[in-house]
Structure 1
Amino acid sequence: MAKQVFEIVVVLVVVLFFNQGNANMTKDMTLIESVCKKTHDFKLCVSTLISNPLSFNSTDVKGLARIMIGILQAKTDGILATIDRMSKNESDPRIRDCLIDDCYPEYDKGAELLQQAIEDLESGSLRYAITDVLWAKDDAETCQECFEEPIKLKSPVTAINSYYVALCHIAEDIMVIL
């Protein structure tokens, strides 16, 4: 009899625990979805934020903005490594020059701007944080322009740049809500 009571109590505790977790996750998803509905790309916004477990602990829009900028920082680090690898393997000297002379320095500068954006966001300088993210976006676009002028080259980073620019737009959109 005591064993059955113990088993029932354990089952009730487990059920209550999981129901509480589901309620919190639903609440967190509601915040993420309501914020992402106000961005340029709802699906990309939601999928990006839910890929980071910290998003489920965020209680406000500022927290989600901070998380999105953090995701951009991580993407920037990955892009810099990809550009470095591509430049070492590229046989076309014009493409290699774009990667080394334009893309790498632009994304490196973007990394610094994103760090500044987080500092500005934390200090309440929202206008500057937005500007920092927009400049990081511009740096990615400058990278892409290298492959288009003066003659059109096949850019190996078009998809990377487009994705990065889209994430920058989302980060900006989230901060504008603040």
Structure 2
Amino acid sequence: MASVFCCMAIIFQAISSFSFNGCNADAALIESICKESQDYNFCMSVVGNGPRAAAVDLHGFALVSISVTAIQIQDTLDEIPRLLQDLKDPLGQTRLRECQTDYNEALGNFQSAF
């Protein structure tokens, strides 16, 4: 779950700090954005590495971040039924179902943003 918030922070950093004017997000720019994230190594492994990283524009950088976040949200949603099955505390189940609702809403929002 922390990685989801890390990806969201990356997205918001990219959107709030730079205009999407079609310029290339060179390695130094990607690194500076990742340094602002909660998990530099994760950020660099997802969006900062690979042959296309230096050629992607900031719009593409944001799309990669949004896509990774949506995948992580879906992965979390996929785990909730198992957790609900194992959880015996009614209050805990209620809270987890509320989280499931929030995650479903977040997934829809990220899919729409993408």
- Using the alignment, how far apart are the partners of 1:95 and 1:55 within structure 2? 44
Q: How does 1:47-126 map to 2 (within 5 A)?
A: 47-50=45-48, 56=53, 58-100=55-97, 102-118=98-114
- Using the alignment, how far apart are the partners of 2:52 and 2:79 within structure 1? 26
Deviation readout 1:78-114 (Å, 9 max, x if unpaired): 01011121011111111111112x0111100101100
Flag structure 1 segments of 5+ consecutive residues without an equivalent. 1-26, 119-178
Deviation readout 1:109-158 (Å, 9 max, x if unpaired): 1011001212xxxxxxxxxxxxxxxxxxxxxxxxxxxxxxxxxxxxxxxx
**What is the CA distance between 1:72 and its match in structure 2?**
0.5
Greater share of residues in helix: 1
* Off by >6 Å, runs of 4+ in structure 1: none
In structure 1, the residue corresponding to 2:103 is in which secondary structure?
helix
The answer as to whether partners of 2:27 and 2:54 remain within 8 angstroms in 1 is no
Q: State the percentage of identical aligned residues.
A: 26
Of structures 1 and 2, the larger Rg is shown by 1
Q: Name the count of aligned residue pairs.
A: 89
- With structure 1 as the length reference, what TM-score do the two structures score? 0.43
- Using the alignment, how far apart are the partners of 1:95 and 1:85 within structure 2? 13
**Compared with structure 1, are the counterparts of its residues 97 and 54 closer, same or farther at alpha carbon in structure 2 (3 Å cutoff)?**
farther
**What is the CA distance between 1:48 and its match in structure 2?**
3.4
1:32 aligned to which of 30, 33, 54: 30
2:38 aligned to which of 32, 38, 41: 41
Flag structure 2 segments of 5+ consecutive residues without an equivalent. 1-24
**What is the CA distance between 1:58 and its match in structure 2?**
4.8
**What is the CA distance between 1:40 and its match in structure 2?**
3.7
- With structure 2 as the length reference, what TM-score do the two structures score? 0.63
**What is the CA distance between 1:75 and its match in structure 2?**
0.4
